[in-house]
Each structure stands twice: as structure tokens, then as C-alpha cells.
């Protein structure tokens, strides 16, 4: 609908009608204004299936929703590192929404994985903002291309479930910009989501859903967002502050409370009616877009979509270990399948992302009649202690087989919205079982079902590990495809697996300080931390094996020196040097050599996934612009590139760098600096042009220290060298010239003026 028509419609509304548009009619609908022909619009969760509920709605996945298709969880989709896969998912979900008359699907979930214990990590993509933002953009674009809206969530710094509705994320501007906001930024700019969902928490004291800086300054003005901001369900703290701060729609219905407070605030001159108009326009624009894109007669094809779910799952499972080609399994082998998750798949997490499906296929559903396959339970879901008889049964069947295939994982109750995990460990009975099998000398492959990292005390003892994550309703089929080699695994971890939970930088404080959530690790999230600390990890970010191997060569950059306004073009060749077809994720990391400021060793800046036949090689290329080399500079309030040398690394993972090139970059931006009497001589030395201005003072100072003048050699015995004087002066404030250069106090003012003029 044309912009002028939106404004005209809003101008015809009473204050009461405008206020009514700014909150839900019920759990899932916006309000209608019948006299103006404005219908209700339905929104539904999201993000990896349709959770469409009737009037008995809830936001925690408690009540039933329609039968739908459960696609793999966000964690697995991210591990695909596959833009096309995310686009396919978005496209499929959009068709389902159209068939079910849903206007906006609530997702994707874009928050950064700060701690491995966050209860919603299974929904979130990554610890890395570049990966998260690019994948989110692909999903959003694909959904919206069909005329259905999205709601990337939860904006922003909502990185734990513990006290999520009152927690105050204390984050530096730099960490916000480089990590937490960056996870949304490219997605917003590139894919223009219809809506964005404001998070429950506060950021540095201010609730996200009334945060003018976050919603108006950053999201709208800086990033150009022109859609509707909706609250997370129940995230409104103060409705009037919300309108003023840029929150358009409160969800779900507040039973009229929110509307009344808006009306009263306008009547009492506490809220400008123009802000209400703006918010009403933002809601109306999306409702009308929904009306224009509505399609009748579409069918939600659950069968076809199930096949999509199977394919997607096969793209994101990660092969973590494969000693002596244990996998793929050979048909005809005697296989002892052990573990309850082989029979009853663990395939999704809990809460609002929970999908009601009746088409879950487990691994044993496919193989129950196969004479070469035996099954034993090994342990029970949710059980901690070992059950000796189940363990003995499992051992017995494993001894009769060529290999034991253990389906381990986290019980359902461990991973959900609304609370965090309390441990990174698997239930003890599962660790006991795997260790015992290995001790008995049984070949053992482990298939893991979990939405976020687990500790693996048996990692060096088992023969193979497949991280199946939470793979959706086609879990068993996708596992079958990979384990028997019909699909070559190509997933890479979108998160680091620390050896133990305590290795993670948040471990000291996570969930321990009430509402006060101090992001002390700052920009050092995930691999940025482990790399800086040179710490061993269980499996690094970006890591994942294939049944074939890839060779990287011919890294070429189109320039070795450039300005920060220019683009560097990179290309390299990747060759499949194995015997079967496979896909490789090429990752490009950037790091500054000797930055002289706090910076991570390397940061992911680009990636692509290529499919190669045996012996085939392809060229892949990337363009890196300013942002790839930049850090957030608080003085200029912008991203900034320091003049210096930068390493561009083409890598198989964050810890497996195949090829490196170097580029010199010259900054075109001068960081303004104002001298004060407490600026140091070191600050001055960094600006040689300024030093010239007070050369007379500096010479006097050197003489005072017994310096030898310009010509003196550093080897003059007994003489104090100029370098030594410089080193000694480096941290001395300019005001010290009163004592050391015998100047009057008034001279300082003159010097400061000369420096700043
Ligand atoms: C969740 C959102 C979800 C909403 C509606 C909230 O509890 O945080 O992700 O979209 O409920 O179900």
C-alpha cells in the first residue's frame, strides 16, 4: 500500500483506534479496525517450523499447536554454513505460512552464544556475528520474497534465559557493536525484515523495548530499518516509554491496559500524539502488506516439506572424529545400535520453538527389521545413574557386532527456553556406557543429540563422533544418510566446544549475579577468547570433517596495499583430492598484525560452501571491504581501520589455516585528539607533527635529562641515549614540564594551546 494511503488511514483514526493498533488482540493477532477495512493479522512462531495455535495460545510451547513440520534447530542450520540451505528453509516456511494464513513468522533467532549454557543456544545460530548475520539475512530474504514477514529476535544482548525478563546486560559499546549488535546488523541492512522483535532484558540499565538509542538511533536511523518493532511476548515494562522509545506493537494483548496508558499519556501531554501516529503507521504498513500478499488455495505439503527437513539436516550435521575411516558404515556389517535416542529421536528443543509434529522418524524406525542391526537401550532418557542391567545388555550386543553405534545426547528437559543449562556434561550413565564400551575394546561410534556443546571425557577413546545436534523430525533419516555414506557430511561447528565448561570466559559469573549480567569477557566471545588465550579446545569454531579431503591453493589478493575505502578481492582454489563427492566450507579470517590495541587474533569475515566431485577443483572468491578490517572506536563512535598490516587467512576451521596473504591498509580517517595537561609525552610522540610545534620545549626537557642532542650516538659510553629519555618520558604527563623543564605553570596552557590549535 502506498505510503500516502497509510498516513491517510491513520489520520482518519481516533486516538483510541490508533492506540488499539499498538497491542495484540489476543496471543497471536493484531487488532482489526473494521470501519476502516483493517483486518487482524496472525503471527506465529518460528523459527524452524510453524507453531500456529488457536485461542489457547502461550509463548512457552505448553499448549498444542497445529500439526506441522519440524525442521532442524538453528544450531544445526548454522552448522551448514550454507546460505542456500537457509534460503531453502525460509522459502519452505513461507509457503507453509501462506497456506495457514500467517502474516509474520517469528524468527530467525539471532542472539550470540555467549555461554555454552544458555538454554536457547539450540535456537541461536552462532558465537560469531558474521556467520549469524549472513545466515539470518538469507532466511529473511527467502521468507519475505514470498510476501510473508519475519521477526528476527531477540534484539538485543539477550544471551541467557536466567532472569531473562529482568536481567540487565552490562555490555561495553565495543562488544555491543562488534559482537551483539553485529549479529543483527548485516541481516537488517541486507534483508530488510518486516519486523524486529525487542528482547526482554535491559541493556546497560534500559529495557530493550523502551530503548530509544537501540530502536530509533541504531536500528532505524543508522541501519535504515523501516519496519515494525514488536515486543517479545510480555517484554513491555512501561508502555508509554515504549512508544517514545520506538516500540510499535506490544504482544500479546495487554487486555487494554497498554492502550489505556497510551491514551492517558497523550491526553495528559506526556506523550506526543505524533509518536502514536508513527507507531500506528508502522503496524498498519505491515498488516496491509500481509493483506496484499495473502494467497488462497495453497496447501501445506507436509510430505514434501519433510523431505526438505531431511535434506537440511544432512547439510548441518558435523563429523567430529573419524579414526581410520570408521564411518561411513558398510552395509552388511553387524551393528549394535545402543541408546534410547536411536529409538525415540531427540530432535528439538523446548519452549516457543517447539513444533507439534506427528512425523518423527528415528534411526531405528528405518532399521528395525534389518537382520544385521541389533538394538539395546543402554540407558533411559532423563536418567543420570547407570542401570547395570541396561549396561550389561548393551555390552553383550556390542560384543557380537562389528561396531557399536551409541545414540547419546541431552534429555529433553536439559534444553529449553526460560531456563539455562546447569552443566555441560552428558548424564553420567551415558559417559559410563561409552567409556565401558571403549575399555572392552569395542569399536565405537557416538552420535550426539544436543542443542549446544557437551563435554566428552571419552573423546580420545571412541572411533568416531557425529554431532547430529537437534535435527528435526527427519533426524533418523538424515543420520542414516550420513552414517551409511549416502550423504557426505559437510557441517562445520558454528560454535566452539570447550574442553570443559569452566574454560569458557563467562563461567566465573554466568547466572550468579542476579539481574546484573556483566559481559566481562567483552569482545572475547567464543573462539576470539580461546585463540587469544592459546587454549586447547575440544573442537574449534568452524571445524568439521568430511569423508573426502580438500586441498587449498593459489591464494591471490588483487592488491598488497590499499586505503580503508577500497575493496580487496581474494581468490583461491579448492580441490577435492579424495574419492567421493563432497562439500567444503571455505572460511576467511582477518587479523591485524601487532595492532597495539586490544583485538582478537582472527575474526571470521567471509565464507562459502562449494560442492566438488572427486578430482574437481573450483575457484572461490571474496571481496573484503572496510568493515572486515575494522574495530569499534569509541572516540569517533564508528568502526575504524588502523593503518597497518593485516593477515587474510583462508581456513578449514578457525584452527586450521591453509593459506595466508598480507595486505597493508592506510587509514583515511584521523582520530581527533585533544591534548590536556594530563596527556602524556607518549601521546605526543605518537603524533610527530604536533611534536614539531613544541620542539623548543622538548629540547629543553632533553637537556634537563642530560640528553646528547640529535647527533649523539646511542653507544656513547656514560651518555643517556635519546631513546632512553623517550622511554622514560613516555608515561609522564605534560604538566610535568613545570618541574623537569623549569617552566612556569602558565607555560602549560600555552603548550596545550599550541598543540590543539
Ligand atoms: C519467546 C519468543 C517467541 C514468543 C512467542 C517468547 O517467550 O522469547 O521467541 O517468539 O515467546 O511465542
Ligand 1 atom, smallest distance to 164 CA: 8
Q: Which residues pair with 550 in a beta bridge?
A: 576
Portion of the chain with pLDDT greater than 70, in percent = 98
Q: Which of 697, 694, 719, 717 is nearest to 708 (CA)?
A: 719
Q: How confident is the model at residue 55 (pLDDT cuts 50, 70, 90)?
A: low
Question: Does any ligand 1 atom lie closer than 6 A to the CB of residue 233?
Answer: yes
Atom 11 (ligand 1) nearest CA: 59
Contact 386, 379 (CB under 8 A): yes
| Ligand 1 within 6 A of CB of 45 | yes
User: Which residue, judged by its Cα, is nearest atom 9 of ligand 1?
Assistant: 352
Query: E-strand spans in 29-177?
Result: 43-45, 104-106, 149-150, 168-170
Q: What grid cell was written down for 737?
A: 614540564
Q: Is 120 close to ligand 1, i.e. is its CB under 6 Å away?
A: no
User: CATH: 3.20.20.210, 3.30.2000.10, 1.10.3720.10, 3.20.20.300. Which one for 3-293?
Assistant: 3.20.20.300
pLDDT band at 717 (very low <50, low <70, confident <90, very high): low
The residue nearest atom 7 of ligand 1, judged by CA position, is: 59
- The owner of cell 556467520 is 131
CB-based contact 523:182 (threshold 8 Å): no
Q: What is the pLDDT of residue 718?
A: 56
pLDDT for 488-508, tens place per residue?
999 999 999 999 999 999 999
Is the shortest distance between the CB of 322 and ligand 1 below 6 Å? no
- Report yes or no: 227 and 281 within 8 Å, Cβ to Cβ: no
The DSSP secondary-structure symbol of 42 reads: B
CA atoms 222, 224, 228, 234: torsion sign: negative
Gap from CA of 199 to ligand 1 centroid (Å): 9
Lowest mean pLDDT among 36-50, 588-602, 626-640, 726-740: 726-740
> Domain spanning 550-666 has what CATH number?
2.60.40.10
**627 and 646 in contact (C-beta within 8 Å)?**
no
Cα torsion for 20, 25, 30, 33, to the nearest 10°? Answer: -50
Pocket test for ligand 1, best of 62, 102, 233 (most atoms within 8 A of CB): 233
* Dist. CA 60 → ligand 1 center (Å): 7
Confidence of residue 707 (pLDDT cuts 50, 70, 90): low
Nearest alpha carbon to residue 533 among 503, 564, 488, 565: 503
pTM for the whole structure: 0.95
Q: Is the CB of 59 under 6 A from ligand 1?
A: yes
pLDDT at 711 over 60: no
The per-residue pLDDT for range 523-558, each reduced to its tens digit, is 999 999 999 999 999 999 999 999 999 999 999 999
Q: Determine which of 378-387, 537-546, 732-741 has the lowest per-residue pLDDT on average.
A: 732-741
Residue reference for cell 569482545: 523
Rounded CA-CA distance 285/281 in Å is 6
Q: Is the CB of 161 under 6 A from ligand 1?
A: no
Peptide bond into 540 cis (omega under 30): no
Q: How far is the CA of 28 from the centre of ligand 1 (A)?
A: 11
Whole-angstrom Cα distance, residue 410 to residue 454? Answer: 9
Beta-sheet strand order (sheet of 550-557): 550-557, 568-576, 617-624
Chain-centre distance of CA 27, in angstroms? 28
Grid coordinates representing 352?
A: 516457543
Q: Which residue has the higher pLDDT, 704 or 3?
A: 3
Residue 138 has pLDDT above 90, yes or no: yes
CA distance 146 to 290: 11
Of the residues 28, 45, 119, 209, which should be mutated to test ligand 1's pocket, given the most ligand atoms within 8 Å of the CB?
45
Rounded Cα distance between 17 and 655, Å, is: 57
Which residue of 52, 60, 352 sits with most ligand 1 atoms within 8 Å of its CB, as the best mutation to test the pocket? 352
Percent of the chain clearing pLDDT 90 (strictly above): 88
Centre of ligand 1 to C-alpha 750, Å, is 61
Residue identifier of the C-alpha nearest atom 3 of ligand 1: 352
Would the CB of 354 count as within 6 Å of ligand 1? no
Alpha carbon nearest to ligand 1 atom 8, residue: 232
- CB of 251 shorter than 6 A to ligand 1: no
Length of the chain: 757
- The pLDDT value given to residue 157: 98
Tell me the Cα Rg of the chain: 29
Ligand 1 centroid to 183 CA: how many Å?
19
Confirm if 187 and 215 have CB atoms less than 8 A apart. no
**Torsion sign over Cα 116, 122, 125, 129:** negative
* pLDDT(511) > 60: yes
Query: For residues 491 and 126, is the Cβ–Cβ distance under 8 A?
Result: no
Decide if pLDDT at 453 tops 60: yes
Which of 63, 355, 356, 417 best tests ligand 1's pocket when mutated (most atoms within 8 Å of CB)?
A: 417
CB of 352 closer than 6 angstroms to any ligand 1 atom: yes
Cα distances from 499 to residues 78, 456, 528, 641, in angstroms, run: 21, 8, 16, 34
Asked if pLDDT for residue 585 goes beyond 80, the answer is yes
Closest ligand 1 atom to the C-alpha of 107?
10
Query: Is pLDDT of 130 > 80?
Result: yes
Query: Half-sphere exposure of 63 toward its Cβ, with a 13 Å CA cutoff?
Result: 9
For ligand 1, say whether the CB of 128 is within 6 Å of any of its atoms. no
> Active-site residues: which are they?
232
Distance from the CA of 158 to the center of ligand 1, in angstroms?
Answer: 12
- pLDDT (0 to 100) of residue 716: 54
Q: What is the pLDDT of residue 708?
A: 53
731 with 683: CB under 8 angstroms?
Answer: no
193-252: pLDDT as tens digits: 999 999 999 999 999 999 999 999 999 999 999 999 999 999 999 999 999 999 999 999
102-111, 271-280, 325-334, 744-753 — which is least confidently predicted?
A: 744-753
Query: Which has the closest alpha carbon to 604: 150, 56, 186, 50?
Result: 186
How many angstroms separate the alpha carbon of residue 33 from the centre of ligand 1? 26
pLDDT in the model for residue 56: 73
Pick the atom of ligand 1 nearest to 200's CA. 8
**Residue 34, Cβ neighbours under 10 Å: how many?**
9
Interval between CA 106 and ligand 1 midpoint (Å): 8
Average pLDDT across the chain, whole number: 95
- CATH match for 302-532 among 3.30.460.10, 3.30.870.10, 1.20.59.10, 3.40.50.1700: 3.40.50.1700
**DSSP letter for each residue of 296-341:** SS----HHHHHHHHHHHHHHH-EEEEEGGG--SPPTT--EEEESHH
Q: What is the pLDDT of residue 719?
A: 60
Give the ligand 1 atom nearest the CA of 51.
12
Residue 9 CA to residue 283 CA, distance in Å, equals 12
Ligand 1 centroid distance, CA of 233 (Å): 6
Three-state DSSP class for residue 56: coil
104's grid cell: 509474520
Domain boundaries, the chain: 3-293, 302-532, 550-666, 681-756
Digit-coded pLDDT (tens) for 402-448: 999 999 999 999 999 999 999 999 999 999 999 999 999 999 999 99
Give the C-alpha separation, 735 to 677, whole Å. Answer: 5
Q: Is the CB of 106 under 6 A from ligand 1?
A: yes
Amino acid at each position: 500500500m502506498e505510503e500516502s494511503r497509510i498516513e491517510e488511514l491513520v489520520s482518519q483514526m481516533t486516538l483510541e483506534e490508533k492506540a488499539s493498533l499498538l497491542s495484540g488482540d489476543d496471543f497471536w493477532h493484531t487488532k482489526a479496525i473494521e470501519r476502516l477495512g483493517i483486518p487482524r493479522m496472525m503471527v506465529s512462531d518460528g523459527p524452524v517450523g510453524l507453531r500456529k495455535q488457536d485461542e489457547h495460545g502461550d509463548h512457552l510451547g505448553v499448549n498444542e499447536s497445529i500439526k506441522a513440520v519440524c525442521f532442524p534447530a538453528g544450531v544445526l542450520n548454522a552448522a551448514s554454513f550454507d546460505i542456500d540451505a537457509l534460503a531453502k528453509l525460509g522459502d519452505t516456511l513461507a509457503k507453509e505460512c501462506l497456506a495457514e494464513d500467517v502474516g509474520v513468522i517469528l524468527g530467525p533467532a539471532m542472539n550470540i552464544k555467549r555461554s555454552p549454557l544458555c538454554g536457547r543456544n539450540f535456537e541461536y545460530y552462532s558465537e560469531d556475528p558474521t556467520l549469524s548475520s549472513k545466515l539470518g539475512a538469507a532466511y529473511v530474504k527467502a521468507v519475505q520474497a514470498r510476501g510473508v514477514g519475519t521477526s528476527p529476535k531477540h534484539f538485543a544482548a539477550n544471551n541467557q534465559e536466567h532472569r531473562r525478563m529482568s536481567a540487565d546486560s552490562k555490555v561495553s559499546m565495543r562488544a555491543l557493536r562488534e559482537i551483539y549488535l553485529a549479529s543483527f546488523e548485516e541481516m537488517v541492512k541486507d534483508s530488510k525484515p518486516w519486523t524486529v522483535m525487542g528482547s526482554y532484558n535491559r541493556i546497560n540499565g534500559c529495557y530493550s523495548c523502551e530503548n530509544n538509542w537501540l530502536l530509533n538511533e541504531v536500528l532505524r536511523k543508522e541501519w535504515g530499518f523501516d519496519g515494525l518493532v514488536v515486543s517479545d511476548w510480555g517484554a513491555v515494562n512501561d508502555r508509554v516509554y515504549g512508544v517514545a522509545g520506538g516500540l510499535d506493537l506490544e504482544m500479546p494483548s495487554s487486555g487494554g491496559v497498554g492502550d489505556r496508558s497510551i491514551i492517558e499519556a497523550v491526553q495528559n501531554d506526556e506523550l506526543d500524539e505524533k509518536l502514536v501516529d508513527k507507531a500506528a503507521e508502522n503496524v498498519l504498513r505491515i498488516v496491509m502488506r500481509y493483506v496484499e500478499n495473502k494467497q488462497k488455495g495453497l496447501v501445506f505439503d507436509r510430505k514434501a516439506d519433510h523431505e526438505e527437513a531431511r535434506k537440511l539436516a544432512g547439510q548441518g550435521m558435523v563429523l567430529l572424529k573419524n579414526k581410520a575411516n570408521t564411518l561411513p558404515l558398510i552395509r552388511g556389517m553387524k551393528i549394535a545400535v545402543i541408546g534410547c535416542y536411536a529409538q525415540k529421536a531427540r530432535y528439538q528443543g523446548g519452549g516457543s520453538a517447539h513444533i507439534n509434529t506427528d512425523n518423527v522418524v528415528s534411526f531405528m524406525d528405518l532399521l528395525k527389521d534389518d537382520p544385521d542391526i541389533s538394538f539395546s537401550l543402554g540407558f533411559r532418557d532423563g536418567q543420570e545413574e547407570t542401570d547395570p542391567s541396561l549396561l550389561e545388555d548393551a555390552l553383550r550386543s556390542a560384543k557380537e557386532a562389528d561396531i557399536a553405534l551409541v545414540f547419546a545426547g541431552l534429555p529433553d528437559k536439559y534444553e529449553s527456553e526460560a531456563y539455562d543449562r546447569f552443566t555441560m556434561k552428558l548424564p553420567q550413565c551415558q559417559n559410563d556406557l561409552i567409556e565401558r564400551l571403549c575399555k572392552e575394546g569395542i569399536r565405537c561410534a557416538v552420535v550426539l543429540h544436543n542443542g549446544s556443546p557437551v563435554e566428552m571425557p571419552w573423546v580420545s577413546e571412541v572411533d568416531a563422533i557425529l554431532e547430529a545436534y537437534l535435527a528435526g523430525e527427519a533426524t533418523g533419516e538424515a543420520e542414516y544418510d550420513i552414517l551409511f555414506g549416502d550423504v557426505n557430511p559437510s557441517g562445520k561447528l558454528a560454535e566452539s566446544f570447550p574442553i570443559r565448561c569452566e574454560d569458557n570466559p563467562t563461567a566465573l559469573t554466568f547466572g550468579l549475579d542476579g539481574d546484573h549480567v556483566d559481559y566481562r569477557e567483552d569482545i572475547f566471545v567464543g573462539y576470539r577468547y580461546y585463540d587469544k588465550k592459546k587454549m586447547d579446545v575440544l573442537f574449534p569454531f568452524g571445524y568439521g570433517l568430511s569423508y573426502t579431503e580438500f586441498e587449498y591453493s593459489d591464494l591471490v589478493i588483487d592488491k598488497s596495499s590499499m586505503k580503508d575505502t577500497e575493496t580487496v578481492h581474494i581468490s583461491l582454489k579448492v580441490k577435492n583430492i579424495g574419492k567421493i563427492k563432497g562439500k567444503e566450507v571455505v572460511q576467511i579470517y582477518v587479523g591485524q598484525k601487532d595492532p597495539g590495541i586490544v583485538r582478537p587474533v582472527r575474526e571470521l569475515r567471509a565464507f562459502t560452501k562449494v560442492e566438488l566431485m572427486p578430482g574437481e577443483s573450483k575457484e572461490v572468491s571474496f571481496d573484503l571491504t572496510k568493515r572486515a578490517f575494522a574495530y569499534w572506536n569509541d572516540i569517533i563512535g564508528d568502526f575504524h581501520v588502523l593503518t597497518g598490516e593485516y593477515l587474510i587467512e583462508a581456513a578449514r576451521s578457525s584452527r586450521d589455516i591453509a593459506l595466508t596473504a598480507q595486505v597493508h591498509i592506510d587509514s583515511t580517517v584521523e582520530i581527533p585528539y585533544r591534548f590536556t595537561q594530563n596527556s602524556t609525552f607518549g601521546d605526543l610522540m605518537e603524533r610527530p607533527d604536533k611534536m614539531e610545534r613544541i620542539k623548543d620545549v622538548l629540547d629543553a626537557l632533553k637537556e634537563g635529562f642530560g640528553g646528547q642532542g640529535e647527533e649523539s650516538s646511542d653507544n656513547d659510553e656514560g651518555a643517556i641515549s635519546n631513546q632512553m629519555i623517550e622511554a622514560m618520558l613516555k608515561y609522564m604527563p605534560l604538566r610535568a614540564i613545570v618541574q623537569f623543564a623549569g617552566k612556569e605553570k602558565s607555560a602549560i596552557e600555552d603548550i596545550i594551546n599550541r598543540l590543539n590549535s
